[in-house]
Amino acid sequence: MKKTQIVVPCYNESKRIEAEPFLGVLKKNPHLSFLFVNDGSTDDTLHVLQSIKEKNPLQIDVLNLEKNSGKAEAVRQGMLKSLEGSFDNVGYWDADLATPVNAIEDFCRLLNSRNAQIVMGSRVRLLGRNIERKTTRHCLGRIFATCASLLLKINIYDTQCGAKIFRTSDSLKKVFQKPFKVHWTFDVEMFARFPIVTGKPLAEISSQWVEYPLDEWFEVQGSNIKPRHFLKGGGEFLALCLYLRTPARKIYEKYLFGS
């Protein structure tokens, strides 16, 4: 595995986050590290993260955001910090480990073997794989993924899985430079930024993206995602349509390239 850092956004995760899976995978992979981002938690999350760091300070770091800004901004801040380092690959992973942490090695292997720029987890219900997801969320997810594919004009099965690893590049830094306009659907906005910052068609860029059908994914109890967030996601999708498919796109492009 090449030198890799994974950003783990955390908000009020003190009762759910488990140290051992993270510490265990680090013992097996000396080139792997984690950057936990405490997103202004109101519980004991920061103390828990600092305790985890004390057990392996060489491979674990903690970024504390004083104010809760949401997952999109926590991921963005973490990615920018990781991109300041000398890492070959950077990525982000959900703190609840719905995607098991041992899949990181598989993602990194695909980055190298396929000469990919992005490897993203995909929750595909296939025989021989253990994907546990509520039927309602699965159906809503399929509808959203179809809409996202139409908006982006690429075929993508699962934009919202919280497990993604990227090859470090200047364009990746530009993608994360400015705060996202949306929150729950920021992954879609992130993908849409690549053609803007590179000047290349997304169809060409995405030819170096790989969706990896996960062997395991478990819907963890206590998720911060509520039913109302699906409604917010729909509203955010309409906002993305405005930014990307109307004359407002020029304003959005100026926002990305502005100082």
pLDDT truncated to tens, each residue of the chain (259 aa)?
A: 899 999 999 999 999 999 999 999 999 999 999 999 999 999 999 999 999 999 999 999 999 999 999 999 999 999 999 999 999 999 999 999 999 999 999 999 999 999 999 999 999 988 899 988 888 878 888 888 899 999 999 999 999 999 999 999 999 999 999 999 999 999 999 999 999 999 999 999 999 999 999 999 988 765 555 556 667 878 999 999 999 999 999 999 999 998 6
Task: Check residue 143 and give its pLDDT.
Answer: 87
User: Which residue in this structure is represented by tokens 């994914």?
Assistant: 217
pLDDT recorded at residue 225? 55
3-class DSSP state of 108: helix
Cα separation, 50 vs 175, in Å, equals 29
Strands of 101-169, DSSP E? 118-122, 130-132, 163-167
C-alpha to C-alpha distance for 108 and 31, rounded to whole angstroms: 11
Please name the helix (run of DSSP H) or strand (run of DSSP E) that holds residue 54, with its range, or none: helix 45-55
Residue 224 is predicted with a pLDDT of 52
Structure-block tokens of residue 174:
């530009």
- Quick one: pLDDT at residue 259? 61
- Residue 133 is predicted with a pLDDT of 81
DSSP states along 22-36 = HHHHHHH-TTEEEEE
Q: Give the rounded distance of the alpha carbon of 158 from its chain centre.
A: 12
CA distance 83 to 252: 23
Spatial contact of 153 and 121, defined as CB atoms under 8 Å apart? no
Cα 75 to Cα 39: distance, rounded to the nearest angstrom: 9
- Give this prediction's pTM: 0.94
CB 34 within 8 A of CB 27: no
Domains and CATH numbers, the chain: 4-257 (3.90.550.10)
Q: CA-CA distance, 53 to 27, in Å (whole number)?
A: 14
DSSP 62-81: EEEESS---HHHHHHHHHHH
Q: How far is CA 219 from the centre of its chain?
A: 16
Q: Which residues contact 190 (CB under 8 A, 6 or more apart)?
A: 175, 176, 180
Contact between 202 and 149 under an 8 Å Cβ cutoff? The reply is no
pLDDT at 226: 57
